[in-house]
Amino acid sequence: MREVAILGVGQTAVREQWDRSIRQLAVAAGRAAMQDAGVERVDAIYVGNMTSGLLNQQMQLGALVADHLNQHGVEAVKMEAACGSAGSAMRQGLLAVASGELDAVLVIGVEKMTETVFKETTAALTTAADADYEIIHGVTFVGLNALIMRRYMHEYGYQRPDFAPFALNAHSNGAKNPNAMFQEPITQRIYDKGRIVADPISLFDASPIGDGAAALLLVPAAKAPQAVRITGSASATDTLAVHDRHDLLWLTAAELSAQRAYAQAGVGPQDIDLFELHDAFSVMAALSLEASGFAERGQGVRLAQEGAIFPDGRIPICTMGGLKARGHPVGATGLYQLAEATLQLRGDAGAAQIPDAKIAMTQNIGGSGATIVTHILQRP
């Protein structure tokens, strides 16, 4: 297998994009990545997306995007794994280049979510759960994560204010990222006053949806000796229904994908300079840190309280706002994580730059942990 590099990066701001369609968002990010790479023609386009059929009445995103990028005739396909769609598309693009089958692959994550009413958007997101055993009972992802957070608090003795560092870090970092939805830091007092959405989850424990697209241009590393390398990549699954899991407070798919990615890259948690984790909810950030080896079981929140997750800490997370402040355009999120990690390793993260970052890790979660994709990137 060939080593693969990221030659180009492109992204749009995450906003309520009233004036841009899903095709326009995808094309804007894809074109930006191609221009950044100095490439005019690609061999394939993989598009990560979750809700286009339900919310935009548009399938066949692969062919649609290829058409409007003037890449007629190339292989192009949409890939879906709920909120893990973009990370999954990235992995397939990586494998296509690593295998030697293709030499230039454009991977795009895109989502257009804000032009439908709340009820329709919530229903579309809920399709990532088990239709026969969860959705039929009216479950939502906020509700599922509230159950998980409540159990975490019960088992390990935390209170809701203890989770504040995750939101404080995200909003502080988002203020340094012009593409982030939220551009203002928050305080502990603001966090404590957050409206409860599903007890114990407040507005500041849950990420906002948005419209946006991010893209990467992948090539063999031999053709781009100065580009950021992808040295580890793995995907794993767990039960779709949360109630079927042996342990509600352990992300098995995160543990499996992280361990496989570490082994491929020849590194461990102690070597990672920054971690773009999937903080759709505060409790998921804690569980990801634990399952990926950065904290012992039940100590993810303690790690945050000690300041280790902040830019000057031992393991900076969500360095450009994460899902909480940058926003969570679900099917695009995994590519935003990878784009931001790449910018960090290139030294192009602006005010959000982590000094001397050499190795970055990203982790994209589909559903409540049913699909988890981990990537490790390294500076050449």
Predicted confidence (pLDDT) per residue in 102-127, tens digit: 999 999 999 999 999 989 999 999 99
Q: What angle do CA 268, 271, 272 make, to 5 degrees?
A: 100
At 118 the pLDDT is: 87
Dist CA 245 CA 68 (whole Å): 43
DSSP 330: G
Residues in the chain predicted with pLDDT less than 50, given as ranges, are: none
| C-alpha triplet 214, 56, 42: angle, nearest 5° | 40
Q: Cα(86)–Cα(277) distance, rounded to whole angstroms? A: 14
Token match 């634990």: residue?
A: 290
pLDDT at res. 211:
98
Tell me the H-state helices in the chain: 22-37, 52-55, 61-68, 85-98, 118-126, 141-156, 164-174, 188-192, 252-265, 282-291, 300-305, 322-326, 333-346
Q: Which of 83, 171, 278, 375 is catalytic?
A: 83
In the annotation, is 137 catalytic? no
Of 363, 358, 355, 357, the closest CA to residue 337 belongs to 363
Active-site annotation holds for 278: no
Model's pTM, two decimal places?
0.98
Active-site residue identified among 171, 278, 318, 328:
328
Give the residue carrying structure tokens 């994709």.
373
Q: Are strands 212-220 and 105-111 parallel, antiparallel or unpaired?
A: antiparallel
Q: What is the residue-wise DSSP string for 32-80?
A: HHHHHHT-S--SEEEEE-SSHHHHSS---HHHHHHHHTT-TTSEEEEE-
Closest-CA residue to 87 (of 276, 225, 270): 276
pLDDT for position 251? 98
Domains in the chain, CATH or no CATH each:
4-117+207-378 (3.40.47.10)
Cα–Cα distance measured from residue 13 to residue 15, given in angstroms and rounded to the nearest whole number: 6
In this prediction, residue 29 carries a pLDDT of 98
